[in-house]
Structure 1
Amino acid sequence: MNKDQVKGKAKEIGGKIQEEAGELVGSSKQQAKGIANQVEGKMQKKVGDAREAVEDALDDDATVRRGNRQ
């Protein structure tokens, strides 16, 4: 798990809390901000997922290359 995945998930959770709080107090502005934060968090997590996939693929490739040299 990398920092983008962690920060993204945290922002997503914070956004959900903000959305719910806005609903409780009747603030559509806070609800909208919360939804926006959730979307931003999901996108950041997806960036982290992609980064991790690339890093894993590079690690696998390096392992295969080292195996072929032996």
Structure 2
Amino acid sequence: MKVTVRVHAYPDGTVALFHGSLCLARYQADGRLIETGRALPARSGLTLGSNVPLVDHRPTVRDSISAHG
């Protein structure tokens, strides 16, 4: 799976990683993770700073929609 993330570098040397509008992590200028105490979305059950990957390995279910009225 590939995703695009944005890296924001701030004037104070801190860095933040974003996937869309979701901030995945923030780092201090020396590379240490900034703990926010906020949890990621409830379906993953992870917290920021966890060493568990942020990838959900469950299969994707796609509903088919009929064009017939």
TM-score for both structures, normalised by structure 2: 0.24
Structure 1 or 2: larger helix share? 1
Structure 1 or 2: larger strand share? 2
Higher relative contact order (CA 8 A, sep 6+): 1
TM-score for both structures, normalised by structure 1: 0.24
Bigger radius of gyration among the two: 1
